[in-house]
């Protein structure tokens, strides 16, 4: 099970050992973590630990993957071993860097990784303890892997797939960004021609918590028209929230879709064709 509820998270906390990771993103993420985080949670930073930013987003996008050795060092500092039980959360029901951390750790070969598919408010109401106290850092360990195991797609592969009826490209950004009505982050608005829009927010219920595995299975079988997961490529703005949809699909038992890490941030900076509207 890749996604757990707040109740299941509380039960897991009562059965240590478990490594808890706070993966909230944003410019003030560190301050929000210091103000209140799950007791014992260790923080990871999207910008410096879950991506390896280059000088030009045209080459790999705004959040390119770090090298395996770099991520190995992050995991070693967190005290994570291949046998660790890891639970990660953010303040977007896993829609931000928690899903990215899940994708990276599972792609590194980790078996037991779960994302809390609930809002901070739901977690607090459930009784999960939050604190502003500094978490005790574990003794470092030696974690090592040499390649990402989950499938990814290059810009060239996405371009071929976008015009191939036997493949599907899913854009998980908000609809107004897909339609080209506005672009709050990247330089150009619009979408990859041929890509369909399935906003990641649809993975969540009205209260902001994750939908059930059954509901998500029904949704994505309908969306993909029963294509094999290997025929599906998922992207967003910079390869972060796309992981939320890959997480939702995995939760639904649909595993093997590809992540386009560069996503719109790369595509839109390389003179590629851009579509507007539906």
Q: Are 236 and 173 in contact (CB under 8 A)?
A: yes
User: Tokens 């990660």 sit at which residue?
Assistant: 88
**Contact assessment for residue 32 and residue 24, using Cβ atoms and an 8 Å cutoff:** yes
The C-alpha angle with vertex 96 and arms to 151 and 27, in degrees rounded to 5, equals 125
Q: Are 249 and 242 in contact (CB under 8 A)?
A: no
Cα–Cα distance between 240 and 243 in angstroms, integer? Answer: 6
Name 216's Cβ contacts closer than 8 Å, sequence gap at least 6. 203, 248, 249, 251, 252
Catalytic annotation on 243? no
Give the residue carrying structure tokens 């994302």.
115
Beta strands in 25-171 (DSSP E): 37-38, 42-43, 86-89, 113-116, 130-131, 168-171
Catalytic residue among 50, 155, 216, 236: 236
> In whole angstroms, what is the distance from residue 179 CA to residue 195 CA?
11
Q: Which positions ≥6 away from 158 have C-beta within 8 Å?
A: 169, 192, 233, 235, 260, 267
C-alpha triplet 184, 190, 195: angle, nearest 5°: 125
| Token couple for 81 | 């071993």
State the catalytic residues.
Answer: 236
């Amino acid at each position: 099970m890749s996604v757990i509820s707040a109740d299941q998270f509380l039960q897991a906390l009562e059965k240590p050992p478990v490594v808890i990771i706070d993966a909230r993103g944003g410019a003030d993420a560190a301050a929000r973590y210091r103000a209140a985080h799950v007791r014992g949670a260790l923080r990871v930073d999207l910008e410096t630990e879950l991506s390896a930013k280059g000088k030009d987003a045209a080459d790999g996008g705004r959040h390119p993957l770090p090298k395996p050795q770099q991520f190995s060092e992050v995991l070693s500092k967190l005290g994570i071993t291949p046998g660790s039980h890891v639970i990660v959360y953010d303040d977007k029901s896993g829609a931000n860097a928690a899903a990215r951390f899940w994708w990276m750790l599972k792609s590194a070969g980790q078996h037991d990784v779960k994302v809390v598919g609930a809002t901070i408010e739901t977690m607090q109401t459930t009784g999960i303890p939050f604190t502003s106290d500094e978490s005790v850092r574990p003794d470092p360990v030696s974690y090592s892997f040499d390649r990402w195991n989950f499938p990814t797609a290059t810009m060239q592969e996405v371009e071929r797939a976008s015009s191939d009826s036997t493949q599907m490209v899913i854009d998980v950004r908000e609809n107004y960004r897909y339609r080209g009505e506005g672009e709050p982050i990247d330089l150009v608005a619009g979408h990859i021609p041929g890509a369909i829009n399935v906003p990641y927010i649809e993975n969540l219920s009205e209260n902001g918590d994750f939908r059930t595995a059954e509901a998500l299975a029904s949704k994505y079988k309908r969306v993909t028209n029963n294509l094999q997961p290997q025929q599906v490529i998922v992207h967003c703005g910079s390869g972060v929230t796309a992981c939320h949809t890959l997480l939702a699909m995995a939760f639904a038992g649909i595993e093997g879709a590809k992540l386009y890490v560069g996503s719109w941030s790369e595509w839109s900076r390389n003179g590629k064709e851009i579509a507007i509207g539906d």
